[in-house]
Structure formats: C-alpha cells, structure tokens
Amino acid sequence: AQSVTQPDIHITVSEGASLELRCNYSYGATPYLFWYVQSPGQGLQLLLKYFSGDTLVQGIKGFEAEFKRSQSSFNLRKPSVHWSDAAEYFCAVGTGANNLFFGTGTRLTVIP
Amino acid sequence: DGGITQSPKYLFRKEGQNVTLSCEQNLNHDAMYWYRQDPGQGLRLIYYSQIVNDFQKGDIAEGYSVSREKKESFPLTVTSAQKNPTAFYLCASRYTGGRENEQFFGPGTRLTVL
C-alpha cells in the first residue's frame, strides 16, 4: 500500500536561513511525487513535481526537491527562506490510478 | 481566468441536516476530486470522478454523496449519516490527457455543524 510520511509536524526557521522539509514515501512502483503549499484557509498550490529523469527538480518560489530512490525520499529545500514562505507544506505520491496520497503536512513558521 | 471555484467559503448547518458544497471548474479537466482536511491528518479522498456520469468512492466516502452530470461541476452532499462533518473540504481537478498531470485545487469550503 502507498503511504507518505512527513516526520516533522512543525518547523521554525529564521528568515534568510536554509530550509529542508522531509518526505518519505512507500509505493511499489515508480512514484509520481509532488510538493504542495497551503496558506491558512486556502487551497493547495503546486510547488513542484517529479515523474522521471533528473532527480533534482526545480519549482516555483525558489524551491527545489531531490528524489532519492534508495532512501524513498523526496525532500524539499530552499536556500534562503522568506517570511512569505510561512505556510503548511504537503508531500504527495501519485499512483497508477492517478489519485494522490498526501502526507500529514509540515507547518513552517518563519521568524524575523 | 481559468480555475476552480468552491462555494460558499464558510457554511454553517445544524446537526442532522444535509448540505451540498459546490465545485465548478472551467479548466476543461475530465477528472475531479473531493478531499476532506482535518488538522494533523492531511487530505483524505472522499470521492473522485474521471468522466461525466461516473464516480468512485475514495477512502472515506461513508456519509457523503456526489453527482457528475456536467464536466464542469462536481457537487458534494454531506448527509446526516456523516458522523463528524465539521471539516475543511477541498475540490480538485486534473487533466487526464497525460499520465503525470498534477491536481489543481479550489480555495476550499469550511463546514461547521452546530
């Protein structure tokens, strides 16, 4: 069965510091992987996605993620966090049925 | 502008009443989805539809019903059989022409049952 684990419920970083959000997945086939961001009371916006090819993918707002098959991970990174990055971040795995399975999310707080 | 609209943004209902949440998209997407979001639990799939006049249950379909009479619309009814309906509900759609396409989300409806 497919599953997604985001081990960090809440992360606090200082503005300008680097960020890494962890995501581990379990899926029997080659996964389609996504990172979404959600501001409070809003819908989800796609940050980036991985399907095949280069394992380092670039997304919007300066985010990137690296797919590591050996570790079943798809961690999200940003070199310098801005106050506007404060939000909740969700990792998701897509299956052959084209449905998405989401992790429980990581809430990011940015302090000045 | 193309996108997904959900209405209303906030909805209050008395316990025991059915309520219908609206989801409309003008992206010409074939597939549409309904998710429920609770704090600390991520998103859970309620129902999805890959084509007009067809839909499938997701992981937590009990107490919910849907219809897909038009490509653009996928309303969700929360029935009185849903034991804990207070939650944030998100609708999404996806273009099915390729294998790898992401889902696009609406702004959500927060339902509170009093």
Q: What is the pLDDT of residues A33-89, one digit of tens each?
A: 999 999 988 999 999 999 888 899 999 999 999 999 999 999 999 999 999 999 999
pLDDT of residue B41: 82
Q: What are the start-end ranges of the E strands in chain B?
A: 4-7, 10-13, 19-25, 31-37, 43-51, 54-57, 64-66, 76-78, 87-94, 104-105, 109-113
Contact A98 B40 (CB under 8 A): no
Interface test with B, best of A21, A23, A25, A44 (most B CBs within 10 A): A44
Look at residue A103 and tell me whether its pLDDT is greater than 70.
yes
Distance from the A81 Cα atom to the nearest Cα atom in chain B, whole angstroms: 23
Which of A45, A98, A104 is nearest residue B42 as measured by Cβ atoms? Answer: A104
Mean pLDDT, to the nearest integer, of B13-22? 93
Distance from the A103 Cα atom to the nearest Cα atom in chain B, whole angstroms: 6
Which of B50, B96, B107 is nearest residue A43 as measured by Cβ atoms? Answer: B107
Select the highest-mean-pLDDT range: A98-107, B51-60, B90-99. Answer: B51-60
Which tokens is B13 given?
């209902």
> Token match 């380092």: residue?
A56
Phi, psi of B20 (to 5 degrees): -115, 130
CA–CA gap between residue A90 and residue A82 (Å, rounded): 18
Tens of pLDDT, residue by residue over B60-93, are 999 999 999 999 999 999 998 888 999 999 999 9
Residues of A with CB under 8 A from a CB of B: 9, 32, 34, 36, 41-46, 49, 51, 90, 94, 98-100, 102-105
Higher pLDDT, A86 or A2: A86
pLDDT of residue B9: 94
> What SS3 state is found at A80?
coil
pLDDT of residue A23: 98
Confidence of residue A31 (pLDDT cuts 50, 70, 90): confident
Which residue of A lies nearest to B58 if distances are taken between CA atoms? Answer: A99
pLDDT of residue A28: 76
Look at residue B26 and tell me whether its pLDDT is greater than 80.
yes
**Contacting residues of B for A99, CB less than 8 Å apart:** 33, 45, 48, 58
Which residue of B lies nearest to A47 if distances are taken between CA atoms? Answer: B102
**Contacting residues of A for B102, CB less than 8 Å apart:** 34, 46, 49
